Structure 1
Amino acid sequence: MDDDLRDRLAIRDLIENWVVWRDAGDWERFRSVWFDDGRMMATWTQGTADEFIEMSKQGWAKGVSILHFLGAQSIDLAGNRAISQTKMTISQRASVHDVLVDVVCTGRFYDFLEKRGGRWGLVLRQPIYEKDRMDPVDPAASLTLDAKLLASFPEGYRHLAYLQSQIGYKIKTDMPGLKGEAVAQLYASGAKWLKGEPLDR
């Protein structure tokens, strides 16, 4: 096995472990996929890996239900640095206006990775939110959303943001979507990362 393939397999393993360990609440092993300076960006929280883990633990204790599922992956390797893009869905269940709903958001994990001391780890995870939808768990239930509030959130994750705002989270409203300036800036930061430049934080 050559080094290129070995690195790609290690990165894929890391990305899959992130999803399984995070969704299972296996926090000790989940911490191992991050470097100490690793950062996580999400609609509902932004900060260090340790801050994200703590916020996730608090959510678990309150009954917050967020799950992830992975699809195809593309990895750009440049020595000890990499950019990984992985198709994913985020699924969250909660009550909105007293109706139990599921929100499914489709997008990509856009990850900045580095190999340090022979080990790959996450330096930054920035999701890209492409489209989403909200459905009552009971198909016979009737749900009416606040149209003004819904329209105040970006198109790619407006239903996810709506749900999260209803359970008390402050939503970041400038996250990258399928198109636009935010995702263009993210791609530019990824290109710089692969050239060995410092990460824009």
Structure 2
Amino acid sequence: MPADDVTQMVLRERQSRDRGRYTEMAACFADDSMAQMNWCTGTGAEYARQTRAMAGRGDYAVQRLGPPAVRIDGDRAPVEPPLIIEWRNGVHGTKADPASACRSRCRARRGTDGRWRIARITSIYEKDTLVPVLPGARLTVDRDEPARHRPSYRFLAWYLNREGRTVGDHHLGDDRPEAVAERYRAEHAWLRQDPAPAASATL
């Protein structure tokens, strides 16, 4: 079934990222693809390369995936798996588990070879948390630092900025519902192969 093919391709890309199979991850993207995360913007191949480099620095994260929603129209299919990004780090000597809940927005496209690949991918951030690994442990965090960031990806941005990667406040998140609604309208237009409004042309 086409929906099964699309689902497995998207899940394969996510699993390949977590398991360090970066060549397989890159192969899930079309040559003219675009990936936009809050720490990386580029082609799918560049996204895989930067993910490899990040893992090489010891910066690992895993994704807990939920069942993706798939809608197919001809050779196009928007796919949306819900997920939680989890990783472990130290906060002033105390081990902590940040977790970021979001949903991935993928545009899958079937090529002339009959294979489905990701044409675009981004995330819509929902909320995140930061808890100590050991119950009762005290996290020493300057409240003003994470409070500078938007609530949909506050601790994710705080962590990445601590690691030297600048995260802007323009990314899609449920705390800005108008921008999210505009994204869904653009996805619907793309599925119908209608010309998208200029404001919706980017991720």
Common fold: TM-score over 0.5: yes
Say yes or no: does 1:74 pair with 2:74: no
Which residue in the other structure is 1:135 paired with? 131
Matching of residues 51-62 of structure 1 within 5 Å? 51-62=46-57
Separation in structure 1 between the aligned mates of residue 81 and residue 158 of structure 2, nearest angstrom:
24
Shift of residue 100, structure 1, vs aligned partner: 2.4
Q: Is the 8 A contact 1:111 1:122 kept in 2?
A: yes
What's the % identity of the aligned pairs? 26
Matching of residues 1-201 of structure 1 within 5 Å? 6-117=1-112, 118-179=114-175, 180-197=177-194, 200-201=201-202
| Equivalent pairs, count | 196
Q: After TM superposition, where is structure 1 displaced by more than 6 Å over at least 4 residues in a row? A: none
Separation in structure 1 between the aligned mates of residue 96 and residue 104 of structure 2, nearest angstrom:
24
RMSD over equivalenced CA pairs, Å: 1.6
Separation in structure 1 between the aligned mates of residue 134 and residue 145 of structure 2, nearest angstrom:
23
Structure 1 residue ranges without an equivalent (≥5): 1-5
1:182 maps to a residue whose letter is: A
1:188 maps to a residue whose letter is: R
Normalising by structure 1, what TM-score?
0.91
1:186 maps to a residue whose letter is: R
Greater share of residues in strand: 1
Structure 1 residues 99 and 184, CA, compared in 2 at 3 Å: closer, same or farther?
A: same
Normalising by structure 2, what TM-score?
0.90
Q: Deviations over 1:89-139 (max 9, x none)?
A: 111222233332211111211111111111111011111111110112233
